[in-house]
């Protein structure tokens, strides 16, 4: 495995931004940035052996700060939405900044995705560390978050997310990469097929806050138990699709158990034969079909990204879990270690 590190730029406050490249013997490689511990590129072969970058992103590192799509990065302290920017923990209510309609999204406007993380090469992988101070974006407790990426000879990107806190807090970490298996900038992903290991999803309010109990996907446009084209029913007259202008929902992974790796999703592009299988220890998978990509920063290779040109498949805890006792707990207490894993396995078929 070839691992290189280069200075990519400096943040507005002068902090150095690094870009890491991990290349295997087959020539496939990924690039990682210390901005939001993000995935910048994944260059993998198609069925004819042709390499292409299947990750949406920007050529200018400064474009990653404050971008609406949160492209490739790790949002936090709590990925996804918390209703009305409020939650109660151990009898005390905490208020968080509201930055998505009436709700708090991805840790707020100054979340982990907009920070330059510390970084290092370690045992063949790359580790990123961010120390979040007590009270940052309204969250209690000083939190240390670590994201470790490894790239294998089999074109698997393995991500381990860990966190520890010195006081009770809530945490939910994921990776927010947008994939287009035909290559970034090569049109929309509506012709990709998707299969989800999920027979239930979380219906939401019109501001995308889960209502509570999960519902069966059977007989609805949310059914991806059997492989289906993403665009097949994306325009259907159905609440979830009307609220989000496409898919932006959390599915409940079948058979999910804490600490156990489980298949979450399979994404496939029939035109080129690339396939992406995703495995995780997380209980849910948020699928967002890039419904609002238009107007985002200029993309790589002179590309201008439009709506639906990438799909994010985010393995995570359920949205608004801090306010819903029936959901898997998002609480992290002193002495505990938050630890989750996600594997992005690229292949062909």
- Residue 321's pLDDT is 98
Residue 267 burial (CB count, 10 A): 26
CA dist 340 to 23, 142, 147, 285, 345, Å? 24, 19, 10, 13, 16
- Residue 231's pLDDT is 98
pLDDT per residue over 75-85, tens digit each? 999 999 999 99
Q: Which two tokens stand for residue 15?
A: 């902090």
Cα torsion for 254, 331, 333, 70, to the nearest 10°?
A: 90
**Contacts for 184 with CB less than 8 Å, ≥ 6 apart:** 53, 54, 55, 56, 57, 299, 300, 301, 303, 305, 309, 310
- Residue 182's pLDDT is 98
Q: How far apart are CA 234 and CA 143, in angstroms?
A: 38
pLDDT per residue over 127-176, tens digit each? 999 999 999 999 999 999 999 999 999 999 999 999 999 999 999 999 99
* Owner of token pair 């670590």: 146
- Residue 99's pLDDT is 98
Annotated catalytic residue, options 106, 176, 192, 263: 176
**Contacts for 109 with CB less than 8 Å, ≥ 6 apart:** 66, 97, 99
DSSP string computed for 153-171? TTSEEEEEEEEEESS-EE-
- Residue 183's pLDDT is 98
DSSP string computed for 213-278? S-EE-TTSTT--SS-EETTSSTTSS-HHHHHHTS-EEEEE-TT--TT--EEEEEEE-TTT-EEEEE
pTM score: 0.98
- Domains assigned to the chain: 2-348 (2.70.98.10)
The answer to whether the Cα torsion of 138, 140, 146, 147 is positive or negative is negative
Phi, psi of 103 (to 5 degrees): -120, 165
- Residue 34's pLDDT is 98
CA dist 36 to 67, 116, 136, Å? 11, 6, 16
Nearest alpha-carbon partner for 40 in 24, 16, 23, 64: 64
Q: How far apart are CA 246 and CA 201, in angstroms?
A: 15
Q: How far apart are CA 169 and CA 13, in angstroms?
A: 28
Cβ pair 323, 83 in contact under 8 A: yes
Active site residue 213: no
Low-confidence ranges of the chain (pLDDT < 70): none
CA dist 63 to 2, 17, 40, 113, 268, Å? 27, 13, 12, 12, 29
Cβ pair 320, 84 in contact under 8 A: no
The answer to whether the Cα torsion of 259, 261, 264, 268 is positive or negative is positive
Active site residue 176: yes
């Amino acid at each position: 495995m070839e691992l290189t590190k280069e200075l990519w730029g400096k943040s507005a406050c002068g902090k150095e931004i690094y870009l890491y490249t991990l290349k295997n013997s087959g020539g496939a490689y990924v690039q990682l940035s210390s901005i939001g511990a993000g995935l910048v590129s994944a260059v993998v072969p198609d069925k004819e052996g042709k390499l292409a970058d299947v990750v949406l992103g920007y050529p200018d590192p400064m474009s990653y700060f404050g971008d609406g799509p949160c492209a490739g990065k790790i949002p936090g302290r709590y990925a996804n939405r918390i209703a009305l920017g409020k939650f109660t923990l151990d009898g005390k209510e905490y208020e968080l900044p509201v930055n998505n309609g009436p709700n708090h999204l991805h840790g707020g406007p100054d979340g982990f995705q907009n920070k330059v993380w510390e970084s290092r090469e370690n045992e063949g992988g790359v580790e990123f560390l961010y120390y979040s101070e007590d009270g940052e974006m309204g969250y209690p407790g000083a939190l240390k978050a670590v994201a470790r990426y490894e790239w294998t000879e089999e074109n698997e990107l393995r991500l381990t997310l860990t966190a520890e806190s010195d006081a009770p807090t809530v945490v939910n970490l994921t990776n927010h990469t947008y994939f287009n298996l035909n290559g970034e900038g090569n049109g929309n992903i509506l012709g990709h097929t998707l299969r989800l290991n999920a027979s239930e999803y979380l219906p939401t309010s019109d501001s995308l806050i889960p209502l509570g109990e999960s519902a069966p996907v059977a007989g609805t446009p949310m059914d991806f138990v059997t492989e289906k084209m993403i665009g097949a029913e994306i325009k259907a007259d159905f609440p979830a699709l009307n609220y989000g202008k496409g898919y932006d929902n959390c599915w409940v992974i079948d058979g999910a158990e804490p600490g156990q790796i489980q298949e979450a999703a399979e994404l496939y592009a029939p035109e080129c034969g690339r396939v992406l299988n995703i495995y995780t220890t997380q209980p849910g998978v948020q699928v967002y079909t890039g419904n609002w990509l238009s107007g985002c920063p200029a993309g790589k290779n002179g590309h201008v990204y439009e709506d639906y040109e990438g799909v994010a498949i985010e393995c995570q805890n359920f949205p608004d879990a801090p306010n819903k006792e029936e959901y898997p707990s998002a609480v992290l207490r002193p002495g505990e270690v938050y630890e989750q894993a996600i594997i992005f396995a690229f292949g062909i078929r």
